[in-house]
Chain A
Amino acid sequence: MEKKRKIKVLVCKPGLDGHDRGAKVIARALRDAGMEVIYTGLHQTPDDIVNTIIQEDPDAILLSILSGAHNALCPAIMEKLKAKKINDVLVSVGGIIPEEDKKFLKELGLDGFYGPGTELKTIVEFVKNNLKR
């Protein structure tokens, strides 16, 4: 009887926006789905986030950005991860992301976009099914 490995997720709020309702609700939902969740708190710079990823070694990261700063913050984070040769972490983003930006972000290696109204179980399932390790 092989026990399933615990999934560890980092929920991050990069940038300055303080709207953390969504991030917190998602953190709880992931926990209730049996995952181990670390919530970074507000106002994380890309360096903060990458440092946390290195030390905590999570399976997945959820970035929550509602200020429209995703096109600046996501590339900064992805570049720093690349520089550290971290490529086995699923990186998703929640927030108000226009369609054409999704294409751009997908090319950077982000996968999974949760806009307003996304159901919690959709997010939980996505994380479960798209892990990279």
Chain B
Amino acid sequence: MTELKNKESEIIKQGKNDWETKSSKKSETRERFKNLSDIEIERLYTPNNVENLNYLNDLGFPGEYPYTRGAYPTMYRGQLWTMRQFAGFGTAEQTNNRYKFLIEHGQTGLSVAFSLHTIYGYEASDEKSLGEVGKEGVAIDTLKDMETLFDGIDLSKISTSMTINAPAAILLAMYIVVGEKQGYSPEKLRGTIQNDILKEYIAQKSWIFPPEPSMRLIIDSIEYCTKNVPQWYTISISGYHIREAGSTAVQELAFTLADGFAYVEAAIERGLNVDDFAHRLSFFFNAHNNFFEEICKYRAARRIWAKRMKNKYGAKKTESLRLRFHTQTAGVSLTAQEPENNMVRVTLQGLAAVLGGTQSLHTNSFDEALCLPTEKAVRIALRTQQIIAHESGVTDTVDPLAGSYYVEWLTNKMEEEAEIYFEKIKEFGGVIPAIKANFFQKEIANASYKFQREIEKKERIFVCVNKYKPKIHEQTEILKIDDKVASEQLENLKRVKIERNNEKVREALKKLKEAARGTENLMPFIIDAVREYASIGEIIAILKDVFGIYREDSIF
């Protein structure tokens, strides 16, 4: 058998050589073809490129180890991905209205974008919050705002994803209390909290505390949810922001998985059993322009995760080995020039995510290079997903691209390149030491500068940006956030502070501070504080006193 195979591979090799000589390389438009990760692509892939591929070991069946072909056995034949459009702006009341609009149009999960002042744990009235309140996401200061945000939405029927990191524990606490007030115990709640602080240091930069206490808060929330909120996804380990910060696809893959392993190690160190928490970790990837590269990235991610979880961390349950992920199409790929073209980009990116086996998807609105999305743009983005799901036929079979020489070769290649990065990170002594040595930051800064130079030199074509540039700029209708949002939010906050029992707030904060100095799990203390309507700003200020703040070296 092997002899026969060797012979066949010899024949193909010879044949390919002959074919290549016949068709001169000069007739190609470029000297070299490279994808966005700078991996050189051959003209043609043959069985020889994947000759070491072992079907059962390397691909297997969907829903089975090593999960290369998909997280679940039936994939979209069983259940479509969750269509989850990220939304949030202005006051809690405004966003509540947008949520109701999305649910009405068939959206199946909520995804909360928070105001920057909330993300950084400042009160709306802080000097640092100037101009930011409600601009990029919904303004939340206290439990009161969260009650408004989910008013009329049954938390036992919907799953909610919250994009929040440094103050994640506080927003999770608020969600638990809102559920409680709707009459549901925590085990009824379903959703995801991003809670991924490592990628903040690496890319997104919305940190507050230094890495060590931040990790403690995350492990606290994992530990708490494992016991009390079992249906909650405790971290959404995110490559999205790493990519948006300018990384390549390989870097996104490698850095994100490295972060994931760092959380697993930290939780094991806390004394948790890997099979008790691993199935509540999920991932969040970007869907960028290079179609096949993206698909192979997702496939490689599943395989790397499964292998390591099994071989390195000794996970035994299927759920612990299965990597599930949310995808958002690439914000950086959208152009302000002829913004309608973005619909086409988003379609291709969304399709890549689906062919890569995503569990949920956010498709960007075409006007996002100009402003926060208008209702019309959001609707088109959601329809794009529905068209992929119901009209294109790509959901009819699982992992339809498997077995393509190119796809399998590239999946392998992405995995190999990621492994090289894992080795480098190991040399630093792990993710946190590598962050402190600015390793990731430098890698990303270099990649993004290189990409920009390639655009400028027209080595890469970006339609309407460096080629086919439009002569006239058409006006597109845009959404403007009323500047009244900030003053309304200040009023809301002021009112809460008058109406709440300030004595109880002080008491709760005092207890939290004491607990923070020790080693107890902080979740119950945070829940007690938010229940008394302590603001996020107040809680963060208390924790800053104990934990200190993070400062970054600026690398570029």
Residue in A closest to B451 when the chains form the complex, CB atoms:
A25
Interface residues in A95-122 (C-beta closer than 8 Å to B): 96, 98-99, 115-117, 119-121
Most buried by B among A24, A42, A46, A67: A24
* Complex interface: chain B residues within 8 A of A45 (CB): 127-128, 130
Separation of A45 and B332 alpha carbons in the complex (Å): 26
The docked-state distance in angstroms from the alpha carbon of A15 to that of B554 is 16
Residue B337, interface by CB 8 Å? yes
Q: A16-B132, A72-B486 are in contact. List 20 more A-B contacts (CB 8 A).
A: A15-B132, A16-B116, A17-B132, A21-B245, A21-B444, A21-B448, A24-B445, A25-B449, A41-B552, A67-B131, A67-B132, A67-B135, A68-B481, A69-B135, A71-B483, A98-B480, A117-B464, A119-B455, A119-B456, A119-B466
Contact status A24-B128, CB under 8 Å = no
- Asked if A43 and B128 make an inter-chain contact with CB atoms under 8 angstroms apart, the answer reads yes
Q: Is residue A89 contacting chain B, with contact meaning CB distance below 8 A?
A: no
Tell me whether B500 is interfacial, beta carbon within 8 Å: no
A16 and B204 within 8 A (CB)? no
Contact between chains at B131 and A73 (CB < 8 Å): yes
Tell whether, in the assembled complex, residue A15 and residue B116 are in contact, meaning their CB atoms are under 8 Å apart.
Answer: yes
Across the interface, A21 reaches (CB within 8 A) one of B132, B244, B371, B552, namely B244
Known: A39-B554, A39-B556. A18 touches B206 (CB 8 A): yes
Q: Does B340 contact A (CB under 8 A)?
A: no
Interface residues of B in 358-391 (CB under 8 A from A): 369-372
Say yes or no: A24 contacts B556, CB within 8 Å. yes
B246 with A18: CB separation less than 8 A: no
| A41 engages B554 (CB within 8 Å) | yes
Does the CB pair A18–B205 fall under 8 Å? yes
The closest CB in chain B to the CB of A73 belongs to: B131
1/0 contact string of B116-150 vs chain A (CB within 8 Å) = 11011010000111111001100000000000000
A17 to B332, CA, bound (A): 15
Closest 4 A/B residue pairs (Cβ): A72-B131, A18-B205, A69-B131, A24-B556
List residues of chain B with CB under 8 Å of any chain A CB: 116-117, 119-120, 122, 127-132, 135-136, 200, 204-206, 244-246, 332, 334-337, 369-372, 444-445, 448-449, 452, 455-456, 462, 464-466, 475, 478, 480-481, 483, 486, 552, 554, 556
In the complex, how many angstroms separate the beta carbon of B377 from the nearest chain A beta carbon?
14
Q: Kindly list chain A residues whose C-beta atoms are within 8 Å of the C-beta of B466.
A: 119
- Decide: A96 and B128 in contact? CB cutoff 8 A: no
Q: Is A27 an interface residue, CB under 8 A from the partner?
A: yes
For B118, give the chain A residue with the smallest CB separation. A16
If A41-B552, A68-B372 touch, whether A17 touches B478 (CB-CB below 8 Å) is: no
Question: How many Å lie between the Cα of A74 and that of B332 in the bound state?
Answer: 24
A34–B117 Cα gap in the complex (Å)? 37
In the assembled complex, the Cα of A25 lies from the Cα of B371 at a distance in Å of 22
In the complex, chain B residues whose CB is within 8 Å of the CB of A96 = 336, 369-371
- Other-chain contact of A116, B336, B444, B449 (Cβ < 8 Å): B336
A120 to B455, CA, bound (A): 10
Q: Mark A59-81, 1 if CB is under 8 A from B, else 0.
A: 00000000111111100100000
B108 CB to nearest chain A CB (Å): 28
Q: Report the nearest A residue to B444, measured CB to CB.
A: A21
| Min distance, Cβ B479 to any Cβ of chain A, angstroms | 10
Q: For residue A121, which residue of chain B has the nearest CB?
A: B456
| Distance from A19 Cβ to chain B, minimum over Cβ atoms (Å) | 7
Q: Does A8 contact B (CB under 8 A)?
A: no
Chain B residue contacts of A72, Cβ below 8 A: 130-132, 483, 486
| In the bound complex, CA of A73 to CA of B135 (Å) | 13
